Amino acid sequence: MAADTSIWQRIGFHRSFGVAEAGWGRTLAVAGVSFVYFLPVLFIIFTAIKPQALALSVPPTLSPTSLFGLIPDQFVFTPTLENFSSVFSRVMTGGGQPEPTGFDRFFFNSIVIASASVLLALVLGTLAAYGFSRYPLKGNDTYLFIILTTRMLPAIVVIIPVILMFRAVGLSGSYLGIILLYTAFNLAFTIWMMKSFFDELSTDVEDAARIDGSSGTRVFFRICLPQVVAGLAATFVFGLILTWNEFLFALLVTGPDTRTVPVAMNQAVSSGGRGTDWTLLAAIETLFLIPVFLVTFFLQEHLLRGVTFGTVRK
């Protein structure tokens, strides 16, 4: 430590010039921004643990604790877990017994459909992206652009022929149908994203390996794929998030057995003609957020590790 370091620098508040790591000063600043950004989500989570009667109170109740007297009593509510249990079973008709809502099935459906289709898209899309990047076809850019156009039309236009097609083949209401549809839905993004990662890699190492007699398969699995793990993680996260929350295809193509949570959520909160059931909606959304939140959190390390691991770049 140099003699002129101040107390601020010692506890981490030092200016960095893009080389050193930023310290706790940066953490504080970013924490402020992140907290404000997160507030609307926090409000939804708090609504999920609010008593139903307080959902639309004026002034709005904001916090389950008074934070040692920091928050005035009128903004504080007593937390409850009732809303979470009413996601899975609740009284449907006046004065009746609680009935199961089938939401356990819908959560299972969402997990199966989203993970299967994103993984399938990742496998097919990565192979295709590698092909487009390393073995360019005649009219390579045209193919890529046609693939991109599949994302440009509003879903409503594609969905009518898809419904007719699925009825003819017997795929409507089945897992396979919606999984294939979502795979195609994810492919365009997967291919473009993975191609941009493959394009960034230097081909020197690959060429050297080929000259030494490595087969094409070996070059792909041993040299290229390990360098784009960050890209795979990022693509997986994006695909998962988009598929997880997709609404229109799921509404029109899934049957009662294969219904996903966004569709069921929409039906659950607006049924009965009593207007939005705020606490129920918040409870479903909070539960629905957990899986995708955890996946993103655990893949984050890969997301941020960077595209290359010290290998030569172009």
Binders in 155-174 for another protein, by CB under 8 A: 155-162, 165, 168-169
* Token pair in block for residue 244: 């997880």
Position 122 contacts another protein (CB under 8 A): no
CA distances from 170 to 158, 163, 175, 194, 282 (A): 18, 10, 11, 33, 36
CB of 1 to another protein, least distance (A): 19
Stretch 270-299: interaction string toward another protein, x if CB under 8 A: ------x-x--xx-xx--xx--xx--xx--
* 258 lies in the binding site for another protein (CB under 8 A): no
Q: Look up residue 43 and give its two tokens.
A: 């409000």
114 near another protein, judged by CB under 8 A: no
Nearer to another protein, 105 or 134 (CB): 134
Name the H helices within the chain. Answer: 7-10, 24-48, 82-88, 103-134, 140-149, 155-169, 175-200, 204-211, 216-218, 225-227, 229-244, 248-253, 261-270, 278-304
Coil, strand or helix at 19: coil
Shortest gap between Cβ of 66 and another protein (angstroms)? 18
Contact between 58 and another protein per CB under 8 A:
yes
Q: Which two tokens stand for residue 300?
A: 């984050």
Q: Is 231 in the site for another protein (CB under 8 A)?
A: yes
Which of 87, 113, 116, 188 is in the footprint of another protein by CB under 8 A? 188
- Contact by Cβ (8 Å): 83, 48: yes
Q: Is there binding between residue 237 and another protein (CB under 8 A)?
A: yes
Place of tokens 């989500």: 41
Beta strands 89-91 and 98-100 are: antiparallel
User: What's the closest the beta carbon of residue 95 comes to another protein, in angstroms?
Assistant: 28
Q: Which is nearer to another protein, 98 or 141 (CB)?
A: 141
Q: Is 175 a residue that touches another protein (CB under 8 A)?
A: no
Question: What residue type is assigned to position 300 of the chain?
Answer: Q
How near is the Cβ of 170 to another protein at its closest, in Å?
A: 10
Nearest distance in Å: CB 142, another protein: 11
Of residues 51 and 131, the one with the C-beta less far from another protein:
131
CB of 176 to another protein, least distance (A): 11
Phi, psi of 132 (to 5 degrees): -65, -35
**Is 127 one of the binding residues for another protein (CB under 8 A)?**
yes
Report whether 260 contacts 109 (CB < 8 A): yes
Q: Rounded to the nearest whole angstrom, what is the least distance from the CB of residue 156 to another protein in the complex? A: 5
Residue with tokens 């087969």: 215
Q: Which of 9, 143, 174, 205 binds another protein (CB under 8 A)?
A: 143
Report residue 88 CA to chain centroid gap: 23
Determine the Cα–Cα distance for residues 113 and 120; give it in Å rounded to an integer: 11
Residue 93 or 166: the one with the smaller Cβ distance to another protein is 166
User: With contact defined as beta carbons under 8 Å apart, do 171 and 182 qualify?
Assistant: no
Residue 25 near residue 13, CB atoms below 8 Å: yes
Using CA of residue 222, residue 227, residue 233, residue 235, what is the dihedral sign?
A: negative
Residue 19 binding another protein, by CB under 8 A: yes
Window 190 to 229, contacts with another protein (CB under 8 A): 191-193, 196, 199-200, 203, 206-207, 210-211, 216
| Minimum CB–partner distance for residue 78 and another protein (Å) | 20
Shortest approach of another protein to residue 73 CB, angstroms?
16
Please tell me the count of residues contacting another protein according to CB under 8 A.
119
* Residues in 82-111 at the binding interface with another protein, rule: CB under 8 A: none
